[in-house]
Amino acid sequence: MPNYKVTIGLEIHAELKTNTKMFCRCKNDPDEERPNWNICPVCTAQPGTLPVINKKAVKHVLRVGTAIGATLADFTEWDRKNYFYPDIPKGYQISQYLYPLISGGKLAGVDVTRIHLEEDTGSSRHDRGDYSLVDYNRAGVPLMELVTEPVIHDTETAMRFAKELQLLLRYLGASDANMEKGEMRVEANISISETETFGTKVEVKNINSFKAVGDAIAFEIKRHAEVLGRGEKIVQETRGWDENAGKTFSQRKKESANDYRYFPEPDLPKMRISEIPEFQNLNETMPELPWERRLRLSKEFGFQDAITEMFVTDDAIGGFFSDVALKLSGDKDLIKLASNYITSDLAALMKANNGSMGAVTPETFTVLVRMVGAGDVSSRGAKDTLAIMYREGGLARNVAEQHGLIQKSDIGALESIVKDVIAANAEAVAEYKGGKTASLQYIVGQGMKASKGSANPKVLGELFQKLIG
């Protein structure tokens, strides 16, 4: 098989988080299950109605652009994208064509072409046999579309880009960007070529998970190579991803911009971004961005990448860690200890309980970490204490005490145990005195047993050495 150069460009839509829809005052509620509940004369295209721009949606897009170092448009306008489909009440979609809000920028190493704002369509159901149903709750929901340059050359980069965008949208509060719920939709354009000239591209839609992004692209690359290998040509078209079959299938021959008869929307004002107060100085209200947090965590604490990634991508765990780190301010060793318990033990408890934080709070957890640091509880004891705190709540010290998990370091209390063990294990003691260091381990083990696991093994060992002489 010849060595093909793979080229991929992504088009990603995301429903924006706003109280109301893009051009009317209907509620924007992706969780509304009653069909046609959040609709009005505007978003169902009744004659005589006029759209009004939702500034919050525009601001979301401008913030995304700011975050990725893009150019924000000064002049922007809206266009009608004309096509007929039952889920698009006006017979056109209000979108942006020549003057997108955002141009350029880079995310996860990939060049972004543009980001524009448009309205979502309604949704159709075809599961009733001989008729279809349309629900307009989603019609008019603000939707941003991001287009990348054709600069991606492998499935991993494509997946990484989509994940990073999801993360960014969540950090900015711009979208929940849940792919399974259709809040974020990825379309992948794929071509392969033996030369530097691009091959014919195919666009794949209906991808609704990150895994499917990778699977669909990999499938297309293979299919293209097979088609070319047979001496045939790739047809430029739109294909759908069939998740169950693990295949793409032909949907329609690609339409071109001409088919949409774009023209400026006469019912909306053109905008000058620089003249709108809410859109100024967006840089000043940026939260810490995912890549900034990544860098800070690895610099500040030197975590392994996997741990950093967990704190950056998992909102609950990352937030919990931040709170704990703040309380342990500056104590790097304890913070490291805390990060281990959070990413292993706490994360496992959460995973087993639908992501619930249980009854542990950053306050009680921090006390537990300090207790481990001080040797008041062993690492085994801390795991048990944490599990109990998770289920039942309570203060770390109380929980550990009630369950006999406090590690005894108090010399006085341990001395009598040590004396008893020495008396009962004369042989091992003699061996140790004779130079067999391994015997000390055995003796300490007997001491731990006698203390029912509550002794601090380090303190116990020191005490034995002292008393054996």
Kindly list the residues in this chain that would bind ligand ADP in the complex (CB under 6 A): 7-11, 147-150, 189-191, 198, 201
Closest to 190 measured CA to CA, from 160, 165, 212, 158: 158
Which CB, 64 or 324, lies closer to ligand ADP? 64
Longest dimension (CA), the chain: 102
Which CB, 189 or 454, lies closer to ligand ADP? 189
Which CB, 26 or 169, lies closer to Zn ion? 26
Residue 43 as a binder of Zn ion (CB under 5 A): the answer is yes
Minimum distance from CB of 159 to Zn ion (Å)? Answer: 35
Which CB, 230 or 253, lies closer to ligand ADP? 253
Count of CB atoms within 10 A of residue 83's CB? 12
- Which range touches Zn ion (CB under 5 A), out of 42-50, 243-251, 262-270, 399-407? 42-50
Strand 263-264 relative to strand 247-253, pairing = unpaired
Work out what residue 217 binds among Zn ion, ligand ADP, none; the CB cut-off runs from 5 to 8 Å by kind: none
Minimum distance from CB of 190 to ligand ADP (Å)? Answer: 6
Which CB, 49 or 322, lies closer to Zn ion? 49
Minimum distance from CB of 55 to Zn ion (Å)? Answer: 17
Minimum distance from CB of 25 to Zn ion (Å)? Answer: 7
Residue bearing tokens 């765990």 = 317
Residue 189, φ and ψ in degrees, nearest 5: -105, 130
Residues 3-32 within binding reach of Zn ion (CB under 5 A): 24, 26
Minimum distance from CB of 189 to Zn ion (Å)? Answer: 33
Minimum distance from CB of 228 to ligand ADP (Å)? Answer: 14
234 φ/ψ sector (left φ>0, alpha ψ -120 to 50, else beta)? beta
Residue 40 as a binder of Zn ion (CB under 5 A): the answer is yes
Minimum distance from CB of 115 to Zn ion (Å)? Answer: 24
Work out what residue 43 binds among Zn ion, ligand ADP, none; the CB cut-off runs from 5 to 8 Å by kind: Zn ion
Which CB, 24 or 335, lies closer to Zn ion? 24
Which CB, 43 or 460, lies closer to Zn ion? 43
Minimum distance from CB of 278 to Zn ion (Å)? Answer: 22
Residue bearing tokens 């525009």 = 58
The helix (run of H) or strand (run of E) holding residue 112 is strand 110-119
Which CB, 193 or 313, lies closer to ligand ADP? 193
Tally DSSP H helices, then E strands, for the chain: 15, 17
Work out what residue 40 binds among Zn ion, ligand ADP, none; the CB cut-off runs from 5 to 8 Å by kind: Zn ion
User: Which residue's CB atom is positioned nearest to ligand ADP?
Assistant: 9
Residues 6+ apart with CB under 8 A from 132: 86, 124, 125, 126
355 φ/ψ sector (left φ>0, alpha ψ -120 to 50, else beta)? left
Residue bearing tokens 């040509």 = 233
Do the Cβ atoms of 439 and 432 come closer than 8 Å?
yes
Work out what residue 190 binds among ligand ADP, Zn ion, none; the CB cut-off runs from 5 to 8 Å by kind: ligand ADP
Gap between the terminal Cα atoms of the chain: 76
Closest to 144 measured CA to CA, from 105, 102, 172, 189: 102
Strand 133-135 relative to strand 110-119, pairing = unpaired
For residue 362, the SS3 value is helix
Q: What residues make contact with Zn ion under the rule CB under 5 A?
A: 24, 26, 40, 42-43
